[in-house]
């Protein structure tokens, strides 16, 4: 960017202004939220960041700036605003840095937080820093431990086996992001899934409440839908199938098989329970399928089938769930050799295993109805299993032998015993209800609501997290650490890599591990897993209400005064993670009587992203870093690429087995998320230095709607910078003009009629107040900025026509400054004080629009004939219905259009429309 434009604004001393006001705000603690206040509260929260070594770039402004505008706007509207900030600083990135550099993350985090804080101050964000929290401080994580104990007490925290990513070469557990294409990122060996005893939270106990609660919160539909689907409520039934003992091949007598593992003998009473959403199709269930992991598989498999079953199981273990559920893949499976009995018709059905049946859902077993379920259909065709039609579509007679696809739709029950002839349908269908009633009379099934949601795995075999407050005692088993002994402090350690056998590095610290059992006083060991970082963010908004409390997680009365969050801002990517966990926690804490709110946020706003034009490897979305290129004339390439959109030949350095060489590649450009690692980051610090924080803020707000992505352009930011320079000039003009009403626009001066000009400016002023108020209320920042651009233009014309000292100019100038205040707060406060006002705009009343002044003098009325636009009329505001109709019918254009038609009816919407029905 040329420095010339910056020079041009010598008249707008943004650097001094911004520094001055930031110091004044801090000195006066203007942004402090008062717990006791007669004003109504408004809680604005932007999801708190993970302070990484990269610091903030301008992309991060996409949520911090709108959050700040909301806070400042609400404060000016008379609300007692809570706008806090803190650091979500436990977790992987800091730990990886620690491993790399051998420095305890404890030493790094405060430094990074300081950098973030400074950057946010440079942006002029109105945080109440007296409430700053850092999740890695014992004062905070102590309450994570306390909440854990409460969950444990209620049976909602429990230990269970859960698979972890295991690298057998490194003998370590890997985080998901350390598994690259199924291989260990460090050594490249294939990663296995290993069961490990870990802690889980029973979020599934809240499945129904989490779905119901969605109806009363004002969140984006997309996020709500994602949550509903993630929770995945299905209504149906469980059905029990009795397992038949294997027939003895020698004498035809039933024989009881004993499995190798020494599991109990399989008697006639054994059953396999399935979950189905279509119990009405039970008469068409011609076989069963178990997931390969189903615990009964080894017991029921016949000796003949044993080896093929075992090899199938080990193949299935290598597949991902996505692979297994991919409907385009051919279904595979193996017969166990065993049979079960269909409870409604006593049919003998073969039991198979197949990987399309998942172990983690329902009961891990299904009744297969090939005529009405496509997966079962494909499976049956492939393995020659019986297909029996039990739902006949309206007016058709399907036959299982000739069917070419499953019929999943409605129809009438057929060949279905007691429910024959009943209308068939899913969900609320009569046939489903009838089938459940029948199953109950047989004692072979029951209605069941199934959820897809799984319990929340909270254990991490990692150092940098909250220690789980549990002790393992040989005599007493699992013993919670007494509340009075909290916090269990995370010790300083030397070695951050996971310990042997996949245990957390904490297991290598005897002083931490060895302890006395709180119950019996005997020798015990501390739990060495730490909590996932998502624990911290599941309740931090409650801590912000009462961040210094050393007696409790938060005071209930204070929390009730602030909760729920009125405006919560953050990324959509948290839809089924953080945004679900924090709802679960709020409901749990609500049930403990700790807070009235049972939802954390009344309204949620999801910002768009800020993208940077990034060089990518042609035909991929893989970014190339500048230093990878042998030669990188960025601006020239961009110009060339933009012109013809053809890949640009280039060269890049490659290193293969330690040998460096150069390879030819083709480069394109693409708008990818701005990022430090891709070397596309631009910092708010440098932009504030060059153009001022206000210009950067305004650019972020103006460039695209809040929810949409921004394509970063410094040149465009220069535009909002120049706008602020113009505002400065115009208002300084008004401030310095001499107070003579005679200075108003003078028609003899070539200016238009004085009175109507004054009227027009005042109208624009009051319309702008109404529009900006409505826009800010609804997060339409971009149109709010353009409304201010229009108002400043009207004011400029008025001033140029000689109206500098007219009260209408003063009124417009004051409105402009007030309306600008939430968006460009430094410049606004400076101009406000120069306009002679006292105090901070943060505490100044938001302007009110006078509807009489805002009303248009003239209105445009649309005239239609039979609904088609034919003419437009300009009528004075307040024109009556009759007058408007008469004016429309009097229009020359309309009269000629109606010349050979007869008017049947005239519809009038005053001030808007006349529709003439004629033929």
Residue ranges binding Zn ion (CB under 5 A): 473, 475-476, 517, 519-520, 522
Binding mask 851-880 for ligand ANZ (x = CB under 6 A): ------------------------------
Find the binder of ligand ANZ among 117, 142, 372, 826 (CB under 6 A): 372
Which CB sits closer to ligand ANZ, 186 or 452? 452
Please provide the DSSP assignment of 449-514 as one string.
EEE----EE-EES-SSSPBP-EEEETTTEEEEPPGGG---PPPP-S--S--GGG--GGGG-HHHHE
String of DSSP letters for 34-73: PSS-SSPEEEEEEPPP---TT---GGGHHHHHHHHHHHHH
Q: How far apart are the first and last CA of the chain?
A: 64
For the segment 732-791, give every residue that binds ligand ANZ (CB under 6 A).
Answer: none
411/427 Cα distance (integer angstroms): 14
Residue 566 binding ligand ANZ, by CB under 6 A: no
Q: Does 231 bind ligand ANZ (CB under 6 A)?
A: no
Tell me the chain's radius of gyration from C-alpha atoms.
35
Return the range that interacts with ligand ANZ (CB under 6 A); candidates 32-40, 71-79, 353-361, 873-881.
353-361
Would you count residue 450 as binding ligand ANZ (CB under 6 A)?
yes
Q: Could you tell me the smallest distance in angstroms from the CB atom of residue 522 to Zn ion?
A: 5
Q: Which is nearer to ligand ANZ, 424 or 865 (CB)?
A: 424
Kindly identify the residues of this chain, within the stretch 815-834, that bind ligand ANZ according to CB under 6 A.
none
x/- contact string, 259-288, with ligand ANZ (CB under 6 A)? ----------------xxxx--x-------
State yes or no: residue 358 binds ligand ANZ (CB under 6 A). Answer: yes
Which partner in ligand ANZ, Zn ion, none is near 473 (CB below 5 to 8 A by kind)?
A: Zn ion
Residue 342 interacting with ligand ANZ (CB under 6 A): no
CA dist 743 and 733 (Å) reads 13
Choose the contact partner of 478 out of Zn ion, ligand ANZ, none; CB within 5 to 8 A by kind.
Answer: none
In this structure, the strands spanning 858-865 and 913-918 are parallel
Answer whether 802's CB lies under 8 Å from 751's CB: yes
Q: Is 659 helix (H, G, I), strand (E, B) or coil?
A: strand
**373 interacts with ligand ANZ by CB under 6 A:** yes
Indicate the residue among 364 and 725 with the shorter CB distance to ligand ANZ: 364
Shortest CB 472 distance to Zn ion, Å: 9
Q: Render the burial of 443-470: b for 16+ CB within 10 Å, e for the rest.
A: ebbebbebbebebbebbbbbbbbbbbbb
Nearer to Zn ion, 23 or 516 (CB): 516
344 is a site residue for ligand ANZ (CB under 6 A): no
Distances in Å between the Cα of 30 and the Cα atoms of 20, 22, 133, 406, 852 are 14, 10, 19, 68, 35
Cβ proximity to Zn ion: between 479 and 887 the closer is 479
List binders of ligand ANZ among 283-302 (CB under 6 A).
Answer: 291
- As measured in angstroms, the least distance from the Cβ of 458 to ligand ANZ is 24
Helix axes 754-777 and 781-798, enclosed angle (nearest 10)? 160
* CB-count burial class (<10 Å; 0-12, 13-18, 19+) for 330: exposed
- Using the contact rule CB under 6 A, the part of the chain among 251-259, 363-371, 590-598, 668-676 near ligand ANZ is 363-371
CB nearer to Zn ion: pick between 478 and 886 = 478
Q: Which of 456, 470, 471 is nearest to 537 (CA)?
A: 456
Tokens matching residue 677: 């690692």
Interacting partner of 234 out of ligand ANZ, Zn ion, none (Cβ under 5 to 8 A depending on kind):
ligand ANZ
- Specify whether the CB–CB gap between 700 and 65 falls below 8 A: yes
Least CB distance from residue 428 to ligand ANZ, whole Å? 14
Instruction: Identify the residue among 366, 413, 569, 597 touching ligand ANZ (CB under 6 A).
Output: 366
| Residue 478 or 662 with smaller CB distance to Zn ion | 478
Which H helix or E strand runs over 703? Answer: helix 693-703
Q: Which residue's structure tokens are 């050979």?
A: 900
Which residues, listed in sequence order, are joined to residue 41 by a DSSP beta bridge?
Answer: 80
Pull the structure tokens for residue 214: 């969605």
How many positions of this chain bind ligand ANZ (CB under 6 A)? 19
Cα–Cα separations (whole angstroms), residue 150 to 589, 592, 845: 9, 9, 44
- Minimal distance, residue 329 CB to ligand ANZ, in Å: 14
**What's the min distance (Å) between Cβ of 526 and Zn ion?**
13
- Closer to Zn ion at the Cβ: 520 or 662? 520
CB nearer to ligand ANZ: pick between 167 and 422: 422
Q: Hey, is 563 helix, strand or coil?
A: coil
Q: How far apart are CA 391 and CA 416, in angstroms?
A: 9
The CB-of-239 to ligand ANZ minimum distance in angstroms stands at 9
To ligand ANZ, the closest distance from the beta carbon of 320 in angstroms equals 15
- With beta carbons less than 8 A apart as the criterion, state whether 651 and 664 touch: yes
Site for ligand ANZ in 407-426 (CB under 6 A): 408
Is residue 331 close enough to count as binding ligand ANZ by CB under 6 A?
no
Closest CB to ligand ANZ among residues 200, 372 = 372
Please report how close the Cβ of residue 852 comes to ligand ANZ at its closest, in angstroms. Answer: 59
| Closest C-alpha among 741, 697, 726 to residue 793 | 726
Does 357 bind ligand ANZ (CB under 6 A)? Our answer is yes
Q: For ligand ANZ, which is the closer residue by CB, 347 or 853?
A: 347
**Backbone angles phi and psi of 830, in degrees to 5:** -65, -50
Given the rule CB under 6 A, which residues bind ligand ANZ? 234, 275-278, 281, 291, 357-358, 361-362, 364, 366-367, 369, 372-373, 408, 450
């Amino acid at each position: 960017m040329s420095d010339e434009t910056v020079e041009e604004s010598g008249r707008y001393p943004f650097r001094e202004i911004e520094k001055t006001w930031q110091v004044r705000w801090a000195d006066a603690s203007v942004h402090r939220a008062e717990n006791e206040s007669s004003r109504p509260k408004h809680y604005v929260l932007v999801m708190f960041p993970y302070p990484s070594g990269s610091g903030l770039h301008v992309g991060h402004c996409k949520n911090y700036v709108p959050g700040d505008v909301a806070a400042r706007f609400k404060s000016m509207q008379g609300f007692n605003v809570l706008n806090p900030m803190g650091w979500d600083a436990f977790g992987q990135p800091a730990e990886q840095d620690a491993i790399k550099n051998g420095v305890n993350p404890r030493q790094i985090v405060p430094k990074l937080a300081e950098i973030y804080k400074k950057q946010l101050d440079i942006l002029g964000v109105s945080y109440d820093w007296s409430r700053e929290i850092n999740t890695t401080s014992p004062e905070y994580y102590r309450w994570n431990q306390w909440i854990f104990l409460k969950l444990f007490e209620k049976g909602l925290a429990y230990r269970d086996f859960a698979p972890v990513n295991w690298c057998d070469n490194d003998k370590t557990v890997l985080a998901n992001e350390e598994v690259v294409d199924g291989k260990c990122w460090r050594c490249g060996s294939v990663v296995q899934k290993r069961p490990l005893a870990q802690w889980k939270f029973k979020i599934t106990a809240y499945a129904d409440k989490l779905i119901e609660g969605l109806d009363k919160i004002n969140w984006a539909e997309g996020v709500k839908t994602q949550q509903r689907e993630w929770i995945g409520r299905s209504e149906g039934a469980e059905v029990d199938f009795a397992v038949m003992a294997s027939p003895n091949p020698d004498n035809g007598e039933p024989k009881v098989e004993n499995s190798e593992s020494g599991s109990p003998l399989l008697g006639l009473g054994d059953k396999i329970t399935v979950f189905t959403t279509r119990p009405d199709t039970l008469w068409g269930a011609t076989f069963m399928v178990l997931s390969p992991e189903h615990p009964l598989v080894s017991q029921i498999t016949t000796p003949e089938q044993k080896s093929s079953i075992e090899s199938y199981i080990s193949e299935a273990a290598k597949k991902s769930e996505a692979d297994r559920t991919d409907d385009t893949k051919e279904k595979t499976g193996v017969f166990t050799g065993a049979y079960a009995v269909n409870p409604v018709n006593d049919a003998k059905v073969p039991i198979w295993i197949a990987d399309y049946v998942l172990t983690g859902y329902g009961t891990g077993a299904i009744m297969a109805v090939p005529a009405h379920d496509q997966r079962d259909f494909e499976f049956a065709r492939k393995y020659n299993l019986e297909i029996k039609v039990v739902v006949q579509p309206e007016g058709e007679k399907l036959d299982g032998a000739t069917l070419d696809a499953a019929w999943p739709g409605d129809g009438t029950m057929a060949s279905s015993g007691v429910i024959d002839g009943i209308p068939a349908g899913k969900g609320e269908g009569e046939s489903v209800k009838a089938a459940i009633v029948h199953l109950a009379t047989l004692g072979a099934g029951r209605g069941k609501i199934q959820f897809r949601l799984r319990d929340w795995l909270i254990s991490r075999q990692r150092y940098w997290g909250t220690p789980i407050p549990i002790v393992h005692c040989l005599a007493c088993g699992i013993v919670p650490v007494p509340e009075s002994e909290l916090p269990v402090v995370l010790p300083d350690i030397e070695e951050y890599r996971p310990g042997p056998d996949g245990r957390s590095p904490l297991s290598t610290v005897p002083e931490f591990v060895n302890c006395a059992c709180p119950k019996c006083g005997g020798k015990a060991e501390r739990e060495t897993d730490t909590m996932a970082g998502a624990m911290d963010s599941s309740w931090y908004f409650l801590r912000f209400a009462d961040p210094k409390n050393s007696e409790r997680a938060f005071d209930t009365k204070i929390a009730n005064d602030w909760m729920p969050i009125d405006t919560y801002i953050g990324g959509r990517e948290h839809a089924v993670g953080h945004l679900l966990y924090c709802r679960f926690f709020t409901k749990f804490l609500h049930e403990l009587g700790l807070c009235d709110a049972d939802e954390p946020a009344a309204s949620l706003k999801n910002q768009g992203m800020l993208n940077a034009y990034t060089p990518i490897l042609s035909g991929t979305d893989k970014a190339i870093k500048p230093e990878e290129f042998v030669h990188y004339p960025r601006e020239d390439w961009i110009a060339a690429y933009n012109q013809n959109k053809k890949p640009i030949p280039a060269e890049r350095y490659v290193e293969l087995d330690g040998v460096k060489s150069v390879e030819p590649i083709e480069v394109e450009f693409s708008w990818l998320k701005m990022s430090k690692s891709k070397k596309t980051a631009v910092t708010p610090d440098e932009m504030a230095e060059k153009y001022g924080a206000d210009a950067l803020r305004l650019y972020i707000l103006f460039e695209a709607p809040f929810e949409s992505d921004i394509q970063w352009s410094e040149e465009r930011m220069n535009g909002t910078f120049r706008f602020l320079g113009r505002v400065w000039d115009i208002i300084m003009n008004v401030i310095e003009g001499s107070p003579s009403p005679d200075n108003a626009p003078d028609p003899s001066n070539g200016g238009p009629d004085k009175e109507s000009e004054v009227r027009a400016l005042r109208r624009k002023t009051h319309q702008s107040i109404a529009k900006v108020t409505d826009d800010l209320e609804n997060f339409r920042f971009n149109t709010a900025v353009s409304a201010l651009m229009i108002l400043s233009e009207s004011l400029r014309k008025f001033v140029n026509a000689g109206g500098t000292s007219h009260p209408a100019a003063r009124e417009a100038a004051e409105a402009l400054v007030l309306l600008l205040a939430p968006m460009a707060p430094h410049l606004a406060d400076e101009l406000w004080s120069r306009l002679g006002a006292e105090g901070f705009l943060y505490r100044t009343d938001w302007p009110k629009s006078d509807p009489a002044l805002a009303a248009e003098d003239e209105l445009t009325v649309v005239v239609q004939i039979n609904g088609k636009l034919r003419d437009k009329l300009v009528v004075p505001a307040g024109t009556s219905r009759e007058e408007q109709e008469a004016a429309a019918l009097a229009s020359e254009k309309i009269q000629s259009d109606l010349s050979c038609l007869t008017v049947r009816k005239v519809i009038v919407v005053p001030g808007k429309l006349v529709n003439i029905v004629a033929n």
